[in-house]
A and B are shown apart, each in its own frame.
Chain A
Amino acid sequence: MKTEQPLEGKILTPTFLICGLIFLISLIFMAKRFLYGLGAVTNLSDGYPWGLWIAFDVVIGTALGCGGFAMALLVYVFNKGEYHPLVRPALMTSLFGYTLAGVAVVLDVGRYWQLYNIFLPWYMNLNSVLLEVALCIGAYVVVLWVEFSPTFLTKFGADNAKASLNKIMFVFIALGILLPTMHQSSLGTVMVVAGSKLSPLWWTRLLPLLFLISCIFLGYAIVVFESSITGSRYPIHDETDLLGKVSGVMAWLIAIYLVIRFADVVIRGHLNLAFRGDLLGNMFLLENILLLIPMAVLFVPANRKNARLMFLSAISIVLAAVLFRFNTYIIGFDPGNGWHYFPAVGEIFITLGIVSIEIMAFLWFIKRLPIYRRL
């Protein structure tokens, strides 16, 4: 069996340099945010206190980082060791998604200099859904770095350290499955308290269940998406067979999700809102059509051997899960009183800066660390 190796090659590619430039621009906006306050760079308001940063950088960023969690579920809970080659690349994306979500939180919270209060027992509010999310994500970032550390240890030839770490790794692997189950579902519960401010197309007490299922199939979609892209640009082992099996799992998960999603809206008596032709109705339809089509495609066994179809399906699924989160956190949220929100240039640039750093780190990691199985 082939082992993972660095892909080598030049680091300073055009993609890398463009990302670097965007990141530098975002630094200017970050400085402005800390000097003059959140109002100086964002369009946030008392009506829309959460915007692009919370919805995209944190909620969507961590959901996109669910590849590691989703693969671990398959390998360890469902005992499918054959998927192991997909774990390491997936873990890497999780590492970036979650670490940078943590960075984004520091930018977003108003009183960042006392952010550590949430770790002080006398300040913790155990009723707060957000506390659970924050502590869980914080712990998971640590778990991810520990889970990923053998890759570094291999690079630096620290075999003894690697061997002793491997002995207790099962604890971190178990935590790496437990923690995302907890906080990804809670990211749904977060919006339950918004109650009447959230459109009934998204407000349901099943939000935690929907967030959990969707983060898992999103995790698989990200694995398929990334493996396809990397596979087309770098000489790595062809994983199409494995990706086909993953795609089959995805189709079933989406089917379960859609049954719950629609049954819930129908039982609560709000399906009519979906067909009113307004923004919210169309968003609801779009979000679910983007799942229905790839589900139908991936249920056909022949399509699960077609790398291109699987890649396109994965893109559609990623878009759907991202849109579901945008809808729940921003688009379906209406505080009333005529408030409106669209992200400001500074806000968008800071998010782009964070994504750029993520891409730069990804490129450096795959070229210098043993992540993929080379040909």
Chain B
Amino acid sequence: MEIKRRDFLKGLAGSAVLAMASPAMAVSSEKSRLPDALGILYDSTLCVGCQACMVSCKRANNMPIEYSGSQRQWDNPVDLSSKTLNIIKVYENGTHKTKDREIDGYAFVKRHCMHCVDPACVSACPATAMTKDAKTGIVTYNKDACIGCRYCQVACPFDIPKFEWDNPFPKIVKCQLCNHLQAKGQIPACCSACPTGASLFGPVKDLAIEAERRQNMIAGKYYEFPVSEISSTKIQVHKAQKYIPHIYGKNDGGGTQVLMLAGVPFNKLGLPMLPDRSYTAIAENIQHTLYKGMILPIVAFGGLIFLVKRTEKKKKE
């Protein structure tokens, strides 16, 4: 009996250690891109910082005006919040004389939900309030499922989900890629409002090809750029700027459906530097290894029943 018990314990401890220490052996939880995924290509070098996308976003999503500082004239949020789903921010350095230059320059960046390939919020949510559309890959929120635990906020590497802190009956608020407009055959409000094509809506696979095309452009030469939508016939001609050789979101954090191009390194624009393997996959890997089919817990439970009965019997004797 004694040997049996020891073997059981050894086995249990051994499998637990193996499960946690060797992720390579476990089934990979990494998600790949959906073929019909929709997204946005944001090109910081085309953005003029006019904030038309912000106005359009507020109107399309019925969001309240947000003031900052002492002015009470117009919408002027300082960051994303439960009232602001989309924002243009600016990077400045030194004399901030030249656009899209890291030193002594400035650059714009547009922030909203990245619609991750493997979204941390979707994985984290205990009540399935965050879901990723199986076809378009758009990440949406369902307030009827949400318990308000805010684990999505802890999990999101981009700090996108926002919570209504001053509402006794709060909800989470985030960009849903204007899926209500898409249902009516329209495109996201930020893209339709953008006058320069800096925000370009379309299938992610087409946007990725467009992003590669821009990466290969020769700075200073003139090229054609579509406006609002990748398939649009509305074309503008711009002088290509010098892009940094990085398509943000192509692989970052396991990939995102919002892709970004810029003339300034992305960490300078406030984007997190993430490994290609998403933290979602790492966390799910641990969880799936330990709890796959509940086999390990059930075996452990059986073993524990045996041990407890044994001890109880001994106590009676």
Contacts and interface: CB of A to CB of B under 8 A. Distances in A.
Contact of B308 (A34, A45, A76, A333): A76
B82 to A, nearest CB: 8
A178 B297 contact: yes
Contacts of B163: 38, 46, 49, 110
A120 to B, nearest CB: 8
A181 B300 contact: yes
Interface stretch (A59-67, A191-199, A269-277, A346-354): A191-199
Interface stretch (A95-103, A123-131, A289-297, A313-321): A123-131
Contacts of A171: 305
B310 interface: yes
Interface residues of A, number: 67
Contacts of B128: 123-125
B166 A40 contact: yes
B284 A37 contact: no
B153 A49 contact: yes
A22 interface: no
Contacts of A173: 304, 308
Contact of B170 (A50, A110, A131): A110
Contacts of B166: 36-37, 39-40
B307 A118 contact: no
B237 to A, nearest CB: 36
B14 interface: no
Contacts of B308: 76, 170, 173-174, 177
A128 B125 contact: yes
B9 interface: yes
A128 B126 contact: yes
Contacts of A205: 20, 23, 282, 286
B315 interface: yes
Closest 5 CB pairs of A and B: A110-B148, A195-B279, A39-B165, A111-B148, A131-B126
Interface in B118-142: 120, 122-128
Contact of B151 (A46, A130, A197): A130
Nearest to B145: A123
Given A38-B170, A192-B282, A129 B287 contact: yes
Contacts of B35: none
Most interface-central of B280, B282, B283, B291 (chain A CB within 10 A): B283
B314 A197 contact: no
- Place the interface of chain B in its size category: 35 or more
Contacts of B270: 336-337
Given A79-B310, A79-B311, A189-B286, 14 more contacts: A34-B168, A37-B164, A44-B165, A46-B82, A76-B307, A110-B146, A111-B147, A123-B128, A123-B145, A129-B124, A193-B124, A194-B154, A205-B20, A336-B159
Contacts of B125: 125, 128, 130
B4 interface: no
B286 A109 contact: no
B272 to A, nearest CB: 6
B9 A123 contact: no
B251 to A, nearest CB: 15
Contacts of B314: 79, 81
Nearest to B285: A205
B146 A111 contact: yes
B155 interface: yes
Interface in A159-207: 169-171, 173-175, 177-178, 181-182, 185-186, 189-197, 205-206
A301 interface: no
Contact of B154 (A45, A50, A186): A50
B305 A174 contact: yes
B283 A174 contact: no
B36 to A, nearest CB: 23
Contacts of B312: 169-170
A259 interface: no
B99 interface: no
A205 B288 CA distance: 13
A279 to B, nearest CB: 20
B175 to A, nearest CB: 14
Interface in A132-180: 132, 134, 169-171, 173-175, 177-178
Interface string B273-317: 110000110111011001100000100110011011111101100
26 contacts: A39-B166, A76-B304, A77-B304, A108-B149, A114-B145, A114-B147, A118-B147, A123-B145, A124-B126, A170-B305, A170-B309, A174-B301, A174-B308, A181-B300, A192-B283, A193-B123, A193-B282, A193-B283, A194-B279, A196-B273, A206-B21, A208-B20, A208-B290, A209-B16, A209-B17, A336-B159
A341 B273 CA distance: 23
A229 interface: no
A312 to B, nearest CB: 31
B143 to A, nearest CB: 8
A343 interface: no
Contact of B148 (A109, A131, A191): A109
A170 B9 CA distance: 19
Contacts of B214: none
Contact of B127 (A44, A118, A174, A195): A118
Contacts of A81: 311, 314-315
Given A77-B304, A125-B127, A193 B155 contact: yes
Contacts of A75: 311
A25 interface: no
Nearest to B82: A46
A38 B165 contact: yes
Contacts of B157: 195-197
